[in-house]
Structure 1
Amino acid sequence: MAGPNRNIVATVVVAGATLVAGSPFLMSFLQKWESGKARVLVVYADKLAGDLPTVCDGLTRHVTTTPIIVGEVWSNEKCEAEEAAAVIRVQAQLAPCFKVAPPQVVFDMATSHAWNVGASSTCSSGAMAAFNRGDFERGCQRLSRGDDGRVVWSFTSKWVGGKKVLVFRQGLANRRADETKTCLEGWS
C-alpha cells in the first residue's frame, strides 16, 4: 500500500502563522478514519452519506473537482495526488476562519472535521469560536461534545415516514472523540 506522499511539503498561512498543509500526520489520520489500513480504490456509494460516490480516503465531489463515478477503479498514485490537492483546497477554505494562530495539530484536527462535515460547518462551529478566543482546549473538546457534554457532529439524517430525522452514528462519534483526544494531546 502506498502511503500519503510525504515528499510534498506545502505551507499555508493561518492567522499569521505558517503551518504545514496536508501534513503527513493529517493524511495518516484521514486514512485511518476514512478507509482503515488500505485506501479504497473502487468508487462506492457511501450509504451513510446518502449514496455519495466516495473513493480513496474519503474523496467525494465535496472536496475534489475530479469526477467520481461509482464502480470506477483508481490507482494509489491517483488517490495520493487527488487527496493532497483536495486537502489543500479544504485547508485553504478553513484557514481564513482562524483569527488566532492555532498549533499545527489543532489545524490538522479542524481539517479532519472539515473533511468530514464541510469547511463551512467547521468554520461556523462552536469549536472554531473557541479557537478564535485562543481557548484551544475548549475548541478541541467542541469537536466532539457540546458545552453541555452531549455528543455533537455524530449524526446523519434520513427520511422516516415523510419526516427528516437524525440518526446517531457510533463510527462518527468515535472519529469525533479521536479528533478531540488527538487535538488535546497534541498542543497541551
Structure 2
Amino acid sequence: MKKYFPHLGGTLVLGSAALLGFLGQWEGVGQHVVYADRLAAGLPTVCKGLTRHVTTTPIIVGERWSEEKCQREEAAAIERVQTALAQCFKVLPPQYVFDAASSHAWNFGHPSTCTSLAMASFNQGDWAKGCRRLSMSDAGRPVWSFTSHINPKTGIKTYTFIQGLANRRQAETSFCHQGVV
C-alpha cells in the first residue's frame, strides 16, 4: 500500500514485498504457534515477530493462529509501525532505507529507531552512514546486538552479545545499502 507523507513531500510503500520477505527471513515464516521468545525475556511472539509492542491483539503462549490471522495482524501492525516511523524522517528516504529502518523498528520499537544515530544520519540525508549505524557504532563496534538482564538480587544490569542479533543488524545494513545510490 502506497501512502503519501505530506511532511516528506513524497510517497512510501507500507508493507513492501521486500520488507515482508526480509522480516520472514529473520522472524520466521509459518510461525503460527505463539512462543515465549527467550531473547526477549519470554515475550509472547507469533507470525513474523508480532508481539504486544506492535499489535493490540492479545498474544498468548501456546495459542495457534491461522495464516489469515497472521497476515491480517501483520499488515495492520506494519502499517502502524511504518506510519509512526515515517514521522521521524525529515527527508524522504529511499524505499530500501525506509524498509531497513522499519525492520529495526519492528525489532526494537519505533521510538528507539527514531532516536537512534542511524536516524540522525538519515535526517541529514547521509543514507550510507545511517545504514552503517543500524549495525555498527562510528568506532566500528556492533550495536543493537545485545540483550540485557537485571540481576534481581543486586539490581545490576548486564549485557550479553548475541551473534544472531549482530547477524540481523548486518543484514539490515546490507538491505539498507540497496537504497543508497
**Unaligned 5+ residue runs, structure 1?**
1-8
Identify the structure with the greater strand proportion. 1
Cα distance in 1 for partners of 2:75, 2:160 equals 31
- The 2-side partners of 1:67 and 1:97 are apart by 28
Deviation of 1:10 (Å): 3.8
Q: Distance in 1 between matches of 2:173 and 2:56?
A: 29
Work out the CA distance in 2 between the residues paired with 1:81 and 1:178.
Answer: 26
Moved over 4 A (4+): none
Q: Does 1:11 align with 2:3?
A: yes
**Residue 57 (str. 1) matches residue 51 (str. 2):** no
Matched residues in 2 for 1:148 and 1:16: separation? 34
CA distance in 1, matches of 2:118, 2:138: 10
Q: Secondary structure at the match of 2:82?
A: helix
Tell me which amino acid in the other structure corresponds to 1:15. Answer: L
Give me the whole-angstrom Cα distance separating, in 2, the residues matched to 1:75 and 1:146: 40
Overall identity of the aligned pairs, in % = 61
Letter aligned with residue 162 of structure 2: R
Match of 1:141 in 2: 132
| 1:87-126 paired onto structure 2 within 5 Å | 87-126=78-117
Of 49-58 and 161-170, the range deviating more from structure 2: 161-170
Select which of 141, 152, 160 maps to 1:167.
Answer: 160
Contact 2:2 2:11 in 1 (8 A): no
CA shift for structure 1 position 154 = 0.4
Distance (whole Å) between structure 1 residues aligned to residue 107 and residue 78 of structure 2: 11
Supply the RMSD in Å over aligned alpha carbons.
1.2
How far apart are 1:15 and its partner, in Å? 1.6
The alignment covers a number of residue pairs equal to: 178
Please report the TM-score for the alignment, with normalisation by the length of structure 1: 0.91
Say whether residues 1:28 and 2:21 are aligned partners.
Answer: yes
- Write the deviation string for residues 59-117 of structure 1: whole angstroms up to 9, x where unpaired: 00000010000110001111011001100100111011000110000000000000001
Q: Give the drift of 1:16.
A: 1.7
1:186 and 1:32 map into 2 onto residues whose CA distance is 19
The answer as to 2:89 corresponding to 1:82 is: no
Query: In the alignment, is the contact (CA less than 8 A) between 1:12 and 1:92 conserved in 2?
Result: no
Given the alignment of the two structures, is residue 183 of structure 1 paired with residue 167 of structure 2, yes or no? no
Q: 1:30-62, CA deviations, whole angstroms, 9 ceiling, x for partnerless residues?
A: 111001xx3210001111101000000000000
CA distance in 2, matches of 1:95, 1:153: 20
